[in-house]
Amino acid sequence: MTTAAELPLVTGHTERWANLLPQTLVQTRRLLVRWRRDPVTMVQSLGFPALLLIMLNTVLGHQITAFSNANALYGSVPMVTLVGVMSGSLAGAITLGRERDVGLLARLWVLPVHRASGLLARILAEAVRIVVCTLVLFAVGVALGFRFHQGIPAAIALVGVPVLYGLGFATLVTTAAVFTVRSGLVEAISLGSSLLMFFSTGFVPLAAYPAWAAPVVAHQPMSYAIEAMRGLSLGGPVRGPLLATVAWSVGAIVVFAIPAVIGYNRASRN
């Protein structure tokens, strides 16, 4: 079987910066349309998180509210939003692996398109998906009683937290997807993200965890993002949790961005 590395490449004028934006937008649209038509991605990004939020509010909402003296939704809505962000990224990573396995990435590599447009399109599509999923889950939260008490600027910043967190997480899972031919590593990351949910301050208040688990719960990235979102919606500390979220997210992007680019190029040539 002929690989992409053995096929003639059309370069030259296709690598001009003027071509990068329009070609990135075309590929971004392709990804968004594919994700919208993929039942697995839609269920993992929207269906499962929305159902989880309703169930948590129904089963545990009153107990957590009584324990913490604050509406449980201000922890569960941010937590479930981040769960939707991570679940969607994992579904996207599985889709990326399938495109590599069927040779779609290799076919796109030999087309007269800018080499950077494919990966940039995935980043842009992830950002769009995260914003849409965040708004939908916030709408579900509002229907249950969630409110934006800190005003419009804080609400806008509130949407930005899942975007930043999601891009950091997406960079990690993209690296995993392009460097392994099996879904085992992606599934392990999925298990890890589930543990992050159960051991976060959005599931139950920090005081409810045993003493040995409290430091881990308080300083894991998901808890920082939840606390930043809680502060931006209900009120409370924002600067510390937000800076920690930025540190975790930017750190993940810095660490995994170059391996993701290398792995994506390698997967496209095989």
Query: Closest by alpha carbon to 236, among 161, 151, 150?
Result: 150
Q: State the DSSP code for 147.
A: -
Number of helices and strands in the chain (H, E): 12, 0
pLDDT at residue 241, as a whole number: 96
Confidence of residue 182 (pLDDT cuts 50, 70, 90): low
Question: Which has the higher per-residue pLDDT, 100 or 144?
Answer: 144
- Asked whether the predicted pLDDT for residue 6 surpasses 50, the reply is no
In our burial notation (b when 16+ CB lie closer than 10 A, e otherwise), range 192-226 reads ebeebbebbbbbbbeeebeeeeeeebeebbbbbbb
Query: Closest by alpha carbon to 137, among 28, 35, 56?
Result: 56
What are the tens digits of pLDDT across the range 205-222? Answer: 898 899 999 999 999 999
pLDDT at residue 114, as a whole number: 80
Mean pLDDT value across the chain: 87
What are the tens digits of pLDDT across the range 23-82? Answer: 889 999 998 998 888 887 788 888 889 999 999 999 988 998 888 888 999 999 999 999
* pLDDT above 70 coverage of the chain, percent: 92
Output the pTM of the full model: 0.88
- Whether the CB-CB separation of 76 and 239 falls below 8 Å is answered with no
d(CA 66, CA 110): 60
d(CA 157, CA 251): 20
What are the tens digits of pLDDT across the range 149-169? Answer: 999 999 999 999 999 999 999
Burial classification of residue 168, based on how many CB atoms lie within 10 Å of its CB (0-12 exposed, 13-18 middle, 19 or more buried): buried
